[in-house]
Amino acid sequence: MPKIVIDPVTRIEGHLRIEAQVEGGRVVDAWSSGTMFRGIELILKDRDPRDAWLFAQRICGVCTTVHATASVRAVENALEIVIPSTARIIRNLITASQYVQDHVIHFYHLHALDWVDISSALKADPARTSSLAMSLSDWPRSSTTYFRGVQQKIGSLMNSGQLGLFANGYWGHRAYKLSPETNLMVLAHYLEALDWQRDIIRIQALLGAKNPHAQTFLVGGMSLPVDADSQSALNADGIEFLLEKAQQALTFVEQVYMPDLIAIASIYREWASLGRGAGNYLACGEFPGDNVPDTLNLWLPRGIIRNRDLSTVHPLDQSKITEYVTHSWYDYKEGNSASKHPFDGETIQRYTGPKPPYQSLETGQKYSWLKAPRYDDLTMEVGPLSRMLVAYASGHQRVREAVDTVLSKLNVGTDALFSTLGRIAARGIETQITAEMMLSWIDQLGSRMKQGNTRIHNTERWDPSSWPKDAKGFGLHEAPRGCLGHWVRIHDKKIANYQCVVPSTWNGSPRDARGQRGPYEAALINTPVADPNQPLEILRTVHSFDPCMACAVHVVNPAGRELTRVRVV
C-alpha cells in the first residue's frame, strides 16, 4: 500500500511533511521531514554579539521572545555577565506570558479542530449547550442566547458557500466523538480565545515593547526602565495593568481552557494509550530564582526521565547533546554516521532529496532539513509534558497537585501521561500553574519598584573593549514547545560561531545513524487510521507536540576547527 503523505501539515508553525506506512488500519512506520531552511546561523557569523538576540528572535514569531532569551543568556554566559534581579523577573514574566498565551492558542486554534466537528456543532441544542457549560464552569458567557448566536454565525458561514478556513475539513469523520453540544461549546470558546489572547498579550507589549518580537532585551539585562515616579518607565500604573491582565489570563484558563480540556479528554480516553513515543523526556528547566548564569535554582526543574520511569530524575549534562545528519540534508567531514556537539565541527547544507515537484521522499536516505539531536545517543522528547514529568518526579508540590487532580478527574493513572492525551493535559496544567505564578512575580516586581530596586542592566560588560579576546558560552531556555539551547563563540568582539538546538528539532527529528526514530516518528506508530484519505488521527498526535518548524532550522558552523568542550559555568 502506498504511503500516506501529509504535506503541508497545517495548524502548526512552519513547514512539515509526514509520510506514514499504514497496514491493517494502523500506522506501522512514519517519517517526519522539515521542508524549509534559512541558514540563520550563517547570517549571525561576524555580527556584534549584542545584536544576536534581535536576529535570533526572528527564528520564530509564534514562540516569539524565546530565541531572544536563549541568545542573551548564551552571550551573558560567555562574557560572565550577571544580570540584575529586576531584569530577571521581567524576563520570567515575559516567558510566563508567552507560555500562557501560546498554549491557549495552541489548544483552540491549532489543535481543537482535530477533536471538534463543526458540522456537528450546527446540530446542537443551544439550551442543552448552556446547561452543559454551566455545569462545567462559572464562566459567565454561557446563556442559551449566546450559544444560539454562535451557532447561527457559523451556520450562515457554512451555508454561504464561502467556508474559508473550514472548507474541506474532515467534518463527519467517524473518529469525531464529541456530542453536538460539546462541539458547540468549544467552538464558541475558540472564538472567545481569539479575543482573549490579543488582550492579555499586552503584558508582553508593556514589558517587551511589542508582540510579536519584543524589543526590550539587552545583553546584561533589559531596556525597560522601572521607576514608580516616572511616566516614561514601568510605574505603579503599569503594575496595576499587569495584574489586571494576568488575572484576566488566569480566569480564562481556569474557567474555560481547563474545563474544555477535561471535557474533551474524557471522551477521547483511548488517546491516553496512543502516541506514546520513545519514552524519554528532557527538560532544561526554567524561571531562574537567582542571577547566576545557568543556575539550577529553577521554578520548573531541570532533568531527564528515561523509559517512562518517574522514580528517577537523571541530571542533564549539556555536553552529552549531539546531533546526527545521517538522514538530514547536510554533510559532516567525519562521515555520515558521526554525531557532533553543537560546538564541534563543520556542517554544510546539501540538498540530496528528490527534485521538486516530488511525490515522495527517499525515506531510506536523507529526508529532512532537521538534524537529529540525541542525548547520550537516546531520542528525547521535549515540551510541557517533559517539564511536568520532571517536576512531578522531582517532587514539585504544585505540579504534583495539579497533575494528580487532572488524573483523578479522568480516572487514569500516571501511565496515561506518556501519550498524546498526556501532552495535551500537561500543556493545560502548565498553563494554569504558570498563570498563577505570574501574579506573584508581578507582585515581586511591584515591591522591588517601591523599594527602589530598579537596576535593570549590568553595564560593566556592555562595552566590547571590556571583553576577553575569546569567549564561549551557552544559553538554555524552556520555550513553550520545549528545551532550547543557543551556543556562541566570540572572537575579537564578533560572533565566530553560533549554534541552536531547538525543541522542534528534538521532537521532529528524522532517524539517527542507528535508525532510531525521532519522537514524532515513534509516537505515530500504532496510530489507527480509519480513512487513509482523511488521516485525522495522525494529525492528532503530531499536533499534540505543537510543532514549530521554522525553529527546527539547522545550525551551520562554517569554521572547520576542532573546538574544546563548552565550559559549564
Partner 1 sequence: MKDDGLYTKLLQRGVSRRDFMKFCATMAAALALPSLEVAAIAKALGKGRKPFVVWLEFQDCAGNTESLLRASNPTTAEILLDLISLEYHETLMAPAGKQAVLSRENVVKMQKGKYLVVVEGAIPMKDDGVYCCIGGRTAKDIAREVCGNAAMTIAIGSCASWGGLPAAAPNPTGAVSVQKAVPGIPVVNLPGCPVNTENLTATLVHYLTYGTIPELDSSRRPLFAYGKNIHDLCERRVHFDEGRFVRAWGDDAHRKGWCLYRMGCKGPASYSNCPTIKFNMNTSWPVQAGHGCIACTTEGHWDSMSPFYTKLPNVPGAGMGLTVKKVGAGLAAITAAGFAAHGIRRVVKAKKEKNKSG
The answer to whether the peptide bond before residue 293 is cis (omega within 30 degrees of 0) is no
Contact status, residue 385 vs residue 423, Cβ threshold 8 Å:
yes
Question: How near is the Cβ of 8 to partner 1 at its closest, in Å?
Answer: 5
In the list 167, 315, 397, 515, the residue contacting partner 1 (rule: CB under 8 A) is 167
Residues 527-566 interacting with partner 1 (rule: CB under 8 A): 534-535, 539, 550, 556
Catalytic residues: 13, 60, 63, 67, 481, 504, 548, 551
Instruction: List the one residue from 144, 223, 336, 414 that touches partner 1 (CB under 8 A).
Output: 223
Q: How far is the CB of 282 from partner 1 (least distance, A)?
A: 24
Per CB under 8 A, the list member of 180, 220, 275, 485 interacting with partner 1 is 220
Nearest of 105, 112, 102 to residue 169 by alpha carbon: 112
In eight-state DSSP terms, residue 328 is B
Window 442 to 501, contacts with partner 1 (CB under 8 A): 454-457, 459, 462
Closer of 53 and 281 to partner 1 (Cβ):
53
Judged by CB under 8 A, does residue 233 bind partner 1? yes
Sites for partner 1 among residues 90-119 (CB under 8 A): 105, 109-110, 113, 118
Residue showing cell 547520550 = 376
Q: What is the DSSP letter of 378?
A: B
**Could you give the 3-state DSSP secondary structure of residue 21?**
strand
CA distance 435 to 152: 33
Cβ–Cβ < 8 Å for 484, 383:
no
Nearest approach, Cβ of residue 529 and partner 1 (Å) = 13
Question: H or E stretch including 5?
Answer: strand 4-6
CA distance 307 to 279: 5
Closest CA to 549 of 297, 368, 305: 368
Q: Give me the 330-349 binding string for partner 1, x by CB under 8 A, dash otherwise.
A: -------------------x
- Give the residue, chosen from 27, 129, 183, 221, that forms a contact with partner 1 under the rule CB under 8 A: 221
Is residue 212 within the footprint of partner 1 (CB under 8 A)?
A: yes
Beta carbons of 327 and 367 less than 8 angstroms apart = yes
Burial class (CB in 10 A: 0-12, 13-18, 19+), 80: middle
Q: Which of residues 15-74 bind partner 1 (CB under 8 A)?
A: 15, 35-40, 42-43, 47-48, 50-51, 54-55, 58-62, 64
Q: What residues numbered 355-414 form the site for partner 1, per CB under 8 A? A: 355-359, 369
Footprint on residues 270-329 left by partner 1 (CB under 8 A): none
Among 26, 128, 177, 213, binds partner 1 (CB under 8 A): 213
Give the pairing type, strands 339-340 and 321-324: antiparallel
Which is closer to partner 1, CB of 63 or CB of 416? 63
Would you count residue 188 as binding partner 1 (CB under 8 A)? Answer: no
Q: How far apart are CA 130 and CA 557, in angstroms?
A: 58
Task: Tell me the HSE value of 286 on the side-chain side, using a 13 A CA sphere.
Answer: 30
Size of interface with partner 1, in residues (CB under 8 A):
103
Taking the least distance from each CB to partner 1, the nearer of 68 and 300 is 68
Q: Which is nearer to partner 1, 215 or 447 (CB)?
A: 215
Distance of alpha carbon 230 from alpha carbon 324, whole angstroms: 52
Residue 352 CB, shortest distance to partner 1, in Å, is 10
Residue (131 or 349) nearer to partner 1, CB: 349
The DSSP bridge partners found for residue 126 are none
Asked whether position 1 contacts partner 1 by CB under 8 A, the answer is no
